[in-house]
Chains A and B, each alone.
Chain A
Amino acid sequence: MSQAFDREWQLGELLDGPLLEQFGANLRTLLASELAISDAAGQTLWGIAPPDAQRLPLILELEPIGYLLGHASDSGRLTAARNLLQIQLRAQVRFRMASTLHLEAVAEDFESLRREHARLSESEARYKALSAELEERVRHQVAVLEERQQMLYQAEKLASVGQLAAGMAHEINNPLGFVRSNLSTFTKYLEKLGELKTALGEDLAAWQTLDLDFVLEDGVDLLQESAKGLERIARIVADLKSFSNVDRASEEFTDLNDCLQQAAGIVEKQLPAGINIQLDLLPLPRLICLPGHINQLFFNVIRNAMQAIQDAGRPGSIRISSEANEAGIAIRIRDDGIGMQPAQLERAFEPFYTTRPVGAGVGLGLSTARNIVLAHSGRITLDSQPDGGTTVSIFFPAPP
């Protein structure tokens, strides 16, 4: 700590060359004789000591820090000169101590400011991190709320559509039943009309006038067509019923691979020539789900794939794969069929949206599929290129 304000100051640092020169020269004039100033060790710093010089100590605190060597006609003069020099030295040391202390204090103050600044910066960083974390948490909560709301909205929508569908199915099934029965009876009546021709024998004039051969033939056709129409109505009603979840099953621990195999099995029975199904299933953990609904979901998607290949008018294959990781279960159903236009892709999940001719589909397949996936907290996405095939990806998250 040689630079500290409270060190023992040396004469040489208090009176530098020019100051020594000024003092020495003036004192020499006052005393009218040669003189010298030396440091504590006796080393001369300025001047020339006259022979038979007196040596007077220069004291700052307790001990001499130097000496004035001189000779004066009366010793009072030399003492006065020493005192003057001493006063100057004390003024000098006060100034030096004060300025050095001031520097130390400023350095200290700066140091404490720096510490304070570091502390503040640290706390600022802490608060920034905290605020970012809070923001992130709020964002996450908002996302969760939005998702819940969306699910609730979907469920509400599904419930109201389902109610409507269930009501309609019930109302339609009744008349459908007696119309179908009536038509079947009427077919028998037509047969009886055919028997009439045999009964008439040779007298067929009136028969031919009324062209009853044609009536009979066409009547059978008409009835067959009507029966087909009724089939279609029945199928639509069945679709509507399954869409409305009327026959709600209970949840079970299920291997989704079993569901995939069942659904593929059903579709396979309807497969036209030139279309095949390939299964590439990896072991999956069991999932709590409604297996009836899951079957319906897979069936809808696989049937769509089949139809897409049929629409393309060429042979093709449906590839079904499944795999699992920590995040959940991923299932992909890919066809190399006709694919979808961007406009179709956009509306694919809308209920009652279909590109098929009237009667061939109600437009509930994918909509139902998505509702089932959402009800299991999953995700379903479509990836399709026109004439390039379609891939349906379904993901069920692992239970938390």
Chain B
Amino acid sequence: MPESDPRHLTFKLVYYGPAQSGKTTNLLRLHDQLAPEMKGEVMTMETKDDRTLFFDLLPLGFRAPSGLLIKFRLFTVPGQVAHDGTRKAVLSRADGVVFVADADRAQETNNGESFQSLADNCARVGIDFSQLPLVVQFNKCDLPTATPESEVRERWASAPWPLVFSIALTGFGVEPTLATLLRSVYRRFADEYALASQHGLDEAAFVAGAMGQAA
């Protein structure tokens, strides 16, 4: 559930995935590339050897035509298996999730386990996984050892979630990933918060506002 009061609506979006799949890199690129009305600094919590221990946080925001301030707080979870408790706590209250998979063929098992842990943890923190806006991003798709896009698409063909292929290091695919998630989030919550009827926001304006592109 987004946090809301009469003047604010805050969406919590979580980047989830196996260790070193590029969740923090996604956030750093978004910070560089996006230019919404309001953009905070990337807040990076403690790291150890460049691995996230707690989370990273990127705040974004814009004001709807109605004057409602819409905020997005983009979190990353620690990917390492040992930090499952932290991962679960960060995942709590998420309104949307980007699952950042590592396209490297050698990481297939880790991806699978991490995706399973996402589903399990959603159940434990009271998120209805079947209703959760979710985008699956295959990152590092430029690796020579990456699973080819056609194979990945074939394998995920029966899954309901949109797939995005990215190279977070260069920023390729990072914005489309967020845009895709924002569209899912809009569809999930637009009616509940009367985004179109009371606040003058259609889906395109919602995405554009968050990303900082001309509506």
Cβ contact within 8 Å between A61 and B89: no
Cβ contact within 8 Å between B61 and A5: no
A195 within 8 A of B: no
Cβ contact within 8 Å between B55 and A101: yes
Mark contacts of B81-98 with chain A using CB atoms, 8 A cut-off: 1 yes-contact digit, 0 otherwise.
001111011101100000
Shortest distance from the beta carbon of A59 to any chain B beta carbon, whole Å: 8
List B contacts of A112 (CB < 8 A): 84-85
- B90: which of A63, A90, A101, A106 is its contact (CB, 8 Å)? A101
Give the CA-CA distance A102 to B53 in the complex, in Å: 10
Cβ contact within 8 Å between A97 and B85: no
Interface residues on B, range: 20 to 34
Cβ contact within 8 Å between B86 and A62: no
List A contacts of B55 (CB < 8 A): 101
- In the complex, the chain A residue whose C-beta lies closest to that of B89 is A104
Cβ contact within 8 Å between A102 and B54: yes
Assuming A61-B59, A101-B86, A112-B85, is B73 touching A6 (CB within 8 A)? yes
B40 within 8 A of A: yes
A4 within 8 A of B: yes
Mark contacts of A336-369 with chain B using CB atoms, 8 A cut-off: 1 yes-contact digit, 0 otherwise.
0000000000000000000000000000000000
B23 within 8 A of A: no
Assuming A1-B93, A6-B12, A61-B59, is B85 touching A98 (CB within 8 A)? no
A105 within 8 A of B: yes
Cβ contact within 8 Å between B45 and A105: no
B99 within 8 A of A: no
Cβ contact within 8 Å between B93 and A4: yes
Shortest distance from the beta carbon of B210 to any chain A beta carbon, whole Å: 12
Assuming A6-B75, A98-B46, is B61 touching A62 (CB within 8 A)? yes
Cβ contact within 8 Å between B89 and A94: no
Cβ contact within 8 Å between B71 and A97: no
B169 within 8 A of A: no
List B contacts of A108 (CB < 8 A): 84-86, 88-89
A109 within 8 A of B: yes
Shortest distance from the beta carbon of A248 to any chain B beta carbon, whole Å: 73
Mark contacts of A59-103 with chain B using CB atoms, 8 A cut-off: 1 yes-contact digit, 0 otherwise.
111110000000000000000000000000010011001100110
Interface residues on A, range: 20 to 34
Shortest distance from the beta carbon of B101 to any chain A beta carbon, whole Å: 24
Cβ contact within 8 Å between B88 and A61: no
Assuming A102-B54, A105-B83, A105-B86, is B40 touching A94 (CB within 8 A)? no
Assuming A4-B93, A6-B73, is B85 touching A106 (CB within 8 A)? yes
Shortest distance from the beta carbon of B37 to any chain A beta carbon, whole Å: 9
List A contacts of B10 (CB < 8 A): 8
Give the CA-CA distance A109 to B59 in the complex, in Å: 28
Give the CA-CA distance A106 to B84 in the complex, in Å: 10
List B contacts of A90 (CB < 8 A): 41, 43
Give the CA-CA distance A97 to B86 in the complex, in Å: 12
List B contacts of A97 (CB < 8 A): 45, 54, 57
List B contacts of A107 (CB < 8 A): 85
List A contacts of B43 (CB < 8 A): 61, 90, 93-94
Assuming A5-B89, A102-B54, A109-B84, is B45 touching A62 (CB within 8 A)? no
Cβ contact within 8 Å between A101 and B92: no
Tell me the residues in window 256-307 of chain A with beta carbons closer than 8 Å to chain B beta carbons.
none
Give the CA-CA distance A106 to B10 in the complex, in Å: 26
List B contacts of A63 (CB < 8 A): 38, 61, 69
Shortest distance from the beta carbon of A260 to any chain B beta carbon, whole Å: 73
Q: Which of B61, B71, B85 has the most CB of A within 10 A?
A: B85
- In the complex, the chain B residue whose C-beta lies closest to that of A115 is B124
List B contacts of A1 (CB < 8 A): 92-93
- A6: which of B38, B39, B88, B93 is its contact (CB, 8 Å)? B93
Mark contacts of B54-86 with chain A using CB atoms, 8 A cut-off: 1 yes-contact digit, 0 otherwise.
110101110000000101010100000001111
Q: Which of A4, A93, A108 has the most CB of B within 10 A?
A: A108
Shortest distance from the beta carbon of B198 to any chain A beta carbon, whole Å: 21
List B contacts of A106 (CB < 8 A): 85
Give the CA-CA distance A104 to B73 in the complex, in Å: 19
Mark contacts of B30-47 with chain A using CB atoms, 8 A cut-off: 1 yes-contact digit, 0 otherwise.
000000001111010110
Give the CA-CA distance A4 to B54 in the complex, in Å: 14
Mark contacts of B1-38 with chain A using CB atoms, 8 A cut-off: 1 yes-contact digit, 0 otherwise.
00100000010100000000000000000000000001
Give the CA-CA distance A89 to B10 in the complex, in Å: 21
Give the CA-CA distance A108 to B10 in the complex, in Å: 24
Shortest distance from the beta carbon of B116 to any chain A beta carbon, whole Å: 15
Give the CA-CA distance A60 to B43 in the complex, in Å: 10
Give the CA-CA distance A5 to B90 in the complex, in Å: 8
Query: Could you show 27 A-B contacts with beta carbons less than 8 Å apart?
Result: A1-B93, A4-B93, A6-B12, A6-B73, A6-B90, A59-B40, A60-B40, A61-B40, A61-B43, A62-B40, A62-B59, A62-B69, A62-B71, A63-B38, A90-B41, A93-B43, A94-B45, A97-B45, A97-B54, A98-B46, A98-B54, A101-B89, A104-B92, A105-B88, A106-B85, A108-B84, A112-B85
The 6 closest A-B CB pairs, nearest first, are A105-B85, A61-B59, A109-B85, A108-B85, A104-B89, A105-B86
12 A-B pairs besides A62-B38, A101-B54, A101-B86 with CB distance below 8 A are A5-B89, A6-B93, A61-B40, A61-B71, A62-B59, A90-B41, A94-B43, A97-B54, A98-B54, A101-B55, A102-B54, A108-B88
Identify the A interface with B (CB < 8 A). Answer: 1, 4-6, 8, 59-63, 90, 93-94, 97-98, 101-102, 104-109, 112
